[in-house]
Amino acid sequence: MSEEFELDLEDLERRMEGAMNALRGEFASLRTGRASASMLEPVMVESYGQMMPINQVGTVNVPEPRMVTINVWDKSLVQKVEKAIRESGLGINPQTDGTIIRLPIPELNEERRRELTKVAGQYAENARIAIRNIRRDGMEKLKKAKAEGMSEDDHKIWHDEVQELTDRYIEAVDKALEKKQAEIMQV
């Protein structure tokens, strides 16, 4: 390979891994009918003049497969946490008992399951787009290097490396989507 040109494949891989991590986070926030503490991560509560995630105002636990509990540390925030959950669009009705808020996770109906698989598909497509954009950045660097005198053989080798990396991450996105859709459709 050319001594003058060294494409930073590790940087491309790190960025593609970032897209995968973002996808995993989005998948974790999708409600599948099973209780999970991560489903509350996107919910923010107004606390002491700031917006904070729920896990910073109370302890989130999953005592049963269909129940999440939040033990709110400051009694004055219980109403705000309850309101934030109601307005979050999660479709969960909180039940308050002192400083403990219980979130019973209802069964998902067939229609809602299908909607969630579509949402998961959209998240996966966004991750694929991000990965292809990273690939395009790498290919543009290769094109510049070729214009600056990189040999045809070196260009082909680097091109294949970038394409192989891209294919590997696109395949990982597809597998993650398949797994998440199966989890959502599981009754």
Find the range with the poorest average confidence among 4-8, 96-100, 140-144: 4-8
Note the pLDDT tens digit of each residue in 48-94.
889 999 989 999 999 988 899 999 999 999 999 999 988 876 778 89
CA distance 170 to 173: 5
Instruction: Using alpha carbons, select from 131, 170, 133, 150 the residue that is nearest to residue 7.
Output: 150
Q: Quick one: fold of 34-104?
A: Gyrase A; domain 2 (3.30.1360)
Q: Which of the four pLDDT bands, split at 50, 70 and 90, describes residue 1?
A: very low
- Tell me where in the chain the CATH 3.30.1360.40 domain(s) lie: 34-104
Q: Quick one: fold of 9-28+109-185?
A: Topoisomerase I; Chain A, domain 4 (1.10.132)
Does the pLDDT of residue 13 top 90, yes or no? yes
Contact, 65 vs 35, CB < 8 A? Answer: yes
Does the pLDDT of residue 2 top 60, yes or no? no
Q: Answer with the residue of higher pLDDT: 20 or 39.
A: 20
- Tell me where in the chain the CATH 1.10.132.20 domain(s) lie: 9-28+109-185
Q: Which of the four pLDDT bands, split at 50, 70 and 90, describes residue 112?
A: confident
Does the pLDDT of residue 25 top 50, yes or no? yes
CA distance 99 to 75: 6
Note the pLDDT tens digit of each residue in 29-38.
776 667 778 7
Instruction: Using alpha carbons, select from 131, 143, 146, 150 the residue that is nearest to residue 22.
Output: 131
Q: So what's the pLDDT on residue 187? A: 63
**pTM (two decimals):** 0.68
Q: What mean pLDDT is reported for the chain?
A: 87
